[in-house]
Structures are given as C-alpha cells and as structure tokens.
Structure 1
Amino acid sequence: MLRLCLSSLAMLAALPAFANDSMAELGTGGLILSRSDLIEMKSEDLFISRKQVRVDYVFANRSDEDISTIVAFPMPDISGGPDMMVAVPDNASDNFLDFRVTSDGTEITPQLEQKAFAVGLDVTGELQAAGIPLNPYAEDAYAKLAGLPDDVARDWQERGILMLNEYDDGSGWKTERTPLWSLRSTYWWKATFAAGKDVRVSHSYVPSVGATAGIGFFYDGKFQGDYQDYKHRYCMDPAFENAVRKAASRNANGVPALSEYRMSYVLTTGSNWALGTIGDFRLTIDKGDAAALVSFCGTGVKKTGPTTFEMRAKNFYPERDIDILILAPAGGEAE
C-alpha cells in the first residue's frame, strides 16, 4: 500500500517531562466463516475510533442451495504476566470488548467458548476445578491464586501456569503468585445463507486502545528509539513528522504536548471468504479530536470531516492488517 498520513495540529499546552508509562493494545478483527468457498463478502463498511469499532457486512451465497454454517468472532488473546499492562476495556466481564452482533437487523445472542492455555497446553479444566477465573485480568485472580495449596502452586509454577513475582512496594519485599496463562475467547453462532439472497450482518465492540503518556519515538529533539518500527507500522510520512517537530518547538522543554493512542484491526481474515476479496470496501477512521494527528497505511485516503478519513476500494484484497496511531493533545479527550 502507498504510504499516506493525514495530519492536523492546533496550539497545544506545555507538557511536563516525557513519561514512559505505556499500555499495549490488543489486535482485533472481523468475522470468520467455517466454510468460505461459496459465500462471498460483497461489501464491508468498517468504522474505527477510540470509542467504538463498527462493521457492516453484506454476504451473498454464490451457490444454488441454502448453506448453514458457523460464523465466529475471535476475541484477542489475553496473556498474563508480571506487568499486566494490556488495554482491556472491561476486565470484569467475559465479554470484555462488549461485542454485539445482528443479522438482517435482528440481534443475535452468540455462544461464547473460552479456553486457557499455558506453554501451548490447555489448562482450562484445572483452572476451573480450582475455582480460578480463566481471565488472568479478573479482579480476584490474584486472591484465588494466593489461596492455592502450596503443592498445587509449585506444580503450576513448574508448568508455566503461574510465576512468583517478587517486588518491593515500599514496605519490604513481597512475593506474589502471578497468572502466566493466556485466555482465548471466541463468540460463535449458527447462520444460514439463503441461495440468491444477500445477508446483512453487523457487529460492534469497544476496541483495545494502547496508550503512552508522551511519545515513545521522539525525544531529545529527534526521532529515535522505536522510530523505524513506528514508521513502517503506521506509514509515518514527512508531513506527519514535521507536525511532531512543530509540536515540540512550541514547548520550552522541546517535548511535544501529545500522547500516543494505538489501535490494531486484523483485516487479512477478509481474504478467507469466496473470491479472496471484499467486493466493496469502505474504511472510516475517526481520530476523535480535530487537534490530534493520525497516521495509518492506506491508498486513496480522503479527509471527509474535521476528524474523519475515508478509504474506498473495489474488489479489495486485504494484504495487511490496519494499525492506527493517534497523537492527541495531552490532557485532551478524543471521542
């Protein structure tokens, strides 16, 4: 894809010294079909903002018979660890992205399958038998692990299900049993695609938005650190980089008064349907704040409003996923 960046910048307030507190985003995508050789994705209308992802599909059965099959939406895997710095919108809920789906305007209540894995092995049954939540981010996960019998905890530690995390919280050294397993969640439902008819499916969810206080690729007056990775992943161009320099020049300390927000959408699964392409593809990205900067990879992107940008394509082959970088004014609230 061509490298393209669209940016705008307003006067920004001064920002204190650069902070490196950072939370990672979880990549999330669209629907997956268990049988795809006869069902075509005629169109996909995708909207992405920091607050919501909405997707409207039109599917068509290319055969002469009705097809009943399974449609699935895989949630991003959640992995435990001592840092636990991953953006989970609602870690107290199994539906931690608030996933919702309709078919031809009728709301669907999908089934939810959840499994826990450690070192590639399924440990779902053991966690459930011990009363441990499958979500390593659950509020009571640590308390439940602390109550495990010592022999069970030692066995789980040897098998990579948990680890002992040692730290000093100011009152002396502590040792804490910490989740190491990963949660894999998939919503699924049965669907029938009638021969010769279009089926309209829509779903929405709250995205996982990674964030950093400050900018991790620009400091001490120049682009450095993870700059090359950012440039490749988000297709940052000279106009975007100049806007970052201008933001830095407006502060006496030379630090841009901007904070990072990162989103990822797994688009490449769209090639799994019949024909391997999306007949009519439309992408809308809303950066939320007119004063924010946004960078992502795309072709033929147009600005359609103060905060929105649109890309359209026919017979679109999704050769790469979508990674979006938003630099919002520090202390601002992007929609």
Structure 2
Amino acid sequence: MKNALRHLPLLFALSTAPVFAPAFANDTMAELKTGGLTFVRTPEVEMTKEALFISPSEIRVDYVFTNTSDKDVSGLVAFPMPDIGGDPYANIAIDDFETDNYLGFTAAQDGKAVAVTLQQRAYASDIDVTEDLKARNIPLLPMSKAAKEALKTLPDDVAADWIARGLIFIDTYDDDGTGMKDYRTPLWSLKSVYWWRTTFPAGKEVTVQHRYKPSVGGTVGISFLEDGQPKGERYQDYVKRYCIEDNIVRRAQQAEKDMQAGKPYLFEAWISYILSTGANWGGPIKDFSLTIDKGAAENLVSFCGEGIKKIGPTTFEMKAKDFTPTNEIDILLLKPSGAQ
C-alpha cells in the first residue's frame, strides 16, 4: 500500500467475470435548481474534520463542519447515491432492489436523526424520462421486479415508442422453463440523491454522520494475471488503482495454482468510495482520517495511500492534516474461497 489516494473503480456483485458498478460519493453542498440538484462550492463552511470508515459490511462517515463567516449559512446537504443502470446483464451487489433506499442510508446531524428527502430522476440517452415513467405508473428503479412487471401492462404503441427512444428493449429468454419468451426490459438509468436543509450557525461547529451498506463487487478467482504472470493492461490498471505489490502478486499466483488443483483459492472483492467531492467545502479538510477494515484476518487487502498504519488484526489507518481530496479510494480484497 503506497502512494497518494488515486482513481476509483465501480462496484458490482460477485460473478464469474469481472463487472464494474457505481461508486459512492462524499457529502457535498447543493442548491436546488429547476431540473434537480446541482453541486456548488461553499467557501464559508469548512470541513474541519472527516473520519471515514470503510469495511465490506458498512461505510461510516463522521464530519465536523465549521462556519467561519460572521453570518449563518443555510443550504442543502446532499448525498448522491450510486447511479443504477438498466443493463439487464449487470450483476449488481445490492440486497434489495425493491426498495428505494437500496443501501440502507441513514443520516444524523448533531446527534439527532434527520429526515432526508430522496430525489430520483430517470434518464434514457441522457434525456430525463422520469415523468414518462410516472405517467404510466412504472417504478423508477430499473432492476426491480416491480418495474419489469409494470412494463407488461404498457400499451403496444407506448412500448414501441419507448423502444425507439431507448427506455426499454425486448430481451428473449426462458424465465420459467416453458420456453423462450420476449420480455420488455428497462434500459433507463436512475440517479438518486438524498438531501436535507440545514443551517450552519456563524462561528459554530455542526456534526453530520451518515451510514450505509456498501455494494461489494468482485469476481471468482484472480483477474489481473495473464497465464499466471503479472502482465497486461488489467494488471497495469490494478497497479495504478490499488497499488498492488509483489507480495499480493505472489499470493495471487499461488491462488491460481490452487484453483486449478481443486484446492481452496482466493477471489477478488472491490470496494470504492468517491472522496473528491469533499473539496466542495471551504478550504482543505483540517483533520482527515481513513480507517479500512478488511473484514477478516485471513483476507488480503491492497489500496493506495500515504502513511498507512496497521492498527488492529483487520484494520488500517491513514491520517492527514489540511487534506484536499483530489482522487478517490479503491480497495482490493483477496478473500479465501468459501469466506463470507
């Protein structure tokens, strides 16, 4: 583990091939404009402290914000959720596609739970199609069973129009063992943002906390070796993205041999976090800390960072003063087969 925090991958579920998924975002300030939220810089309010904890089961973020001006500052605190695309072949690691809060997001301010507003907009070919879906009572979450069931009720002329506009397509498969059938399938993407109104009192500190369950992606086996050797574009990408070093490569090579011999082997898991939106507040983060928990002592972990220290059997910590996030966090886990 070395170098500064760098570029971030996307997160998807465990599958037999590597697939990538949306990433998680840091808090930022927003102003409400026609058509949805836009994010703005907020020079009057600085992020005095950020304590970020990332594990395969939970992401926790604790902030202290300080209004450095001589007047109260009111606005919106926003948390962008990962975009959900309508790709029917994407294997996304989300437990419950039938609920809007698919990551179990919660927020608190100054120790008290806050009532957050969820804004969701659907897009097809970069065009907002939210009202089209609502007018036909189609749920916005494209991968939900409810959305696919609702599409069955569309009049044929509307379905034809939506196919032409890229909202849906016809997928053909055997769903119940009775033969191949055509199914209207979502193609739109869903953008979701949680937000709430707040006031930062002049010269005062405000604490904000939020929690959610990450979408942990991965692939069976090891994907960054070619013919058992560390080479090729994917390996170079992993070196840049996760700062993998020789000890990780050696364990990966042994894992490939073990897999071929029918022995327990290692598989990849990925966690990603978008950190750079923290730069939207006034000035650098005065006191930043990152704790990464690899989940189990037998797991291997690799990520980029400076001054990383192991502080427990499964935990690693990085601290920085006057920290300006410009890149994201990528975490690679190598987990024994059969591990949870």
TM-score under structure 2 normalisation?
0.88
Alpha-carbon spacing, 1:105–1:164, altered in 2? closer, same or farther (3 Å): same
Equivalent pair of 1:117/1:182 in contact (CA under 8 Å):
yes
My pick for the range that moved more, 155-164 or 76-85, is: 76-85
The 5 A counterparts of 1:92-241 are 92-167=98-173, 172-218=179-225, 220-224=227-231, 226-241=234-249
In structure 2, distance between residues paired with 1:25 and 1:115: 19
Q: Which residue of 1 aligns with 2:273?
A: 265
In structure 2, distance between residues paired with 1:102 and 1:186: 16
What SS does structure 2 have at the residue aligned with 1:50?
Answer: coil
The one of 311, 329, 338 aligned to 1:331: 338
Equivalent pair of 1:52/1:206 in contact (CA under 8 Å):
yes
| Superposition deviation, residue 263 in structure 1 | 1.0
In structure 2, distance between residues paired with 1:154 and 1:217: 42
Alpha-carbon RMSD: 2.2
My pick for the range that moved more, 311-320 or 171-180, is: 171-180
What SS does structure 2 have at the residue aligned with 1:218?
Answer: coil
Equivalent pair of 2:98/2:146 in contact (CA under 8 Å):
no
What SS does structure 2 have at the residue aligned with 1:79?
Answer: coil
My pick for the range that moved more, 256-265 or 147-156, is: 256-265
Identical counterparts, % of pairs: 49
Name the aligned partner's letter for residue 45 of structure 1.
A
In structure 1, distance between residues paired with 2:168 and 2:290: 41
Name the aligned partner's letter for residue 239 of structure 1.
N
Q: Which residue of 1 aligns with 2:10?
A: none
In structure 1, distance between residues paired with 2:153 and 2:237: 42
| Superposition deviation, residue 211 in structure 1 | 2.0
Equivalent pair of 1:248/1:256 in contact (CA under 8 Å):
no
What SS does structure 2 have at the residue aligned with 1:133?
Answer: coil
| Superposition deviation, residue 25 in structure 1 | 3.4
Name the aligned partner's letter for residue 37 of structure 1.
P
Q: Deviations over 1:35-62 (max 9, x none)?
A: 5111000110000001000000000001
Equivalent pair of 2:221/2:256 in contact (CA under 8 Å):
no
Q: Which residue of 2 aligns with 1:45?
A: 51
In structure 2, distance between residues paired with 1:288 and 1:2: 20
Equivalent pair of 2:2/2:303 in contact (CA under 8 Å):
no
Q: Deviations over 1:188-213 (max 9, x none)?
A: 11111111111111101111111212
Equivalent pair of 1:265/1:322 in contact (CA under 8 Å):
yes
The one of 18, 24, 27 aligned to 2:20: 24
In structure 2, distance between residues paired with 1:242 and 1:22: 21
Q: Deviations over 1:95-140 (max 9, x none)?
A: 1111111111011011111111111111111111111110001122
| Superposition deviation, residue 219 in structure 1 | 5.8
Alpha-carbon spacing, 1:21–1:314, altered in 2? closer, same or farther (3 Å): same
Name the aligned partner's letter for residue 58 of structure 1.
V
In structure 1, distance between residues paired with 2:27 and 2:339: 33
Q: Which residue of 2 aligns with 1:84?
A: 90
Q: Which residue of 2 aligns with 1:14?
A: none
Equivalent pair of 1:24/1:209 in contact (CA under 8 Å):
no
Equivalent pair of 2:270/2:331 in contact (CA under 8 Å):
yes
| Superposition deviation, residue 297 in structure 1 | 0.8
Q: How many pairs are equivalent? A: 319
Equivalent pair of 1:24/1:87 in contact (CA under 8 Å):
no
Name the aligned partner's letter for residue 120 of structure 1.
D
Give unmatched runs, 5+ long, in structure 2: 6-14, 31-40
Alpha-carbon spacing, 1:182–1:251, altered in 2? closer, same or farther (3 Å): closer
In structure 2, distance between residues paired with 1:214 and 1:65: 56
In structure 2, distance between residues paired with 1:25 and 1:289: 23
Equivalent pair of 1:87/1:209 in contact (CA under 8 Å):
yes
What SS does structure 2 have at the residue aligned with 1:116?
Answer: strand
The 5 A counterparts of 1:266-305 are 266-275=274-283, 277-305=284-312
Q: Deviations over 1:51-103 (max 9, x none)?
A: 00000000000100111111101111100023032222321111111111111
Equivalent pair of 1:218/1:227 in contact (CA under 8 Å):
yes
What SS does structure 1 have at the residue aligned with 2:182?
Answer: strand
Name the aligned partner's letter for residue 95 of structure 2.
P
Deviation >6 Å, runs of 4+: none
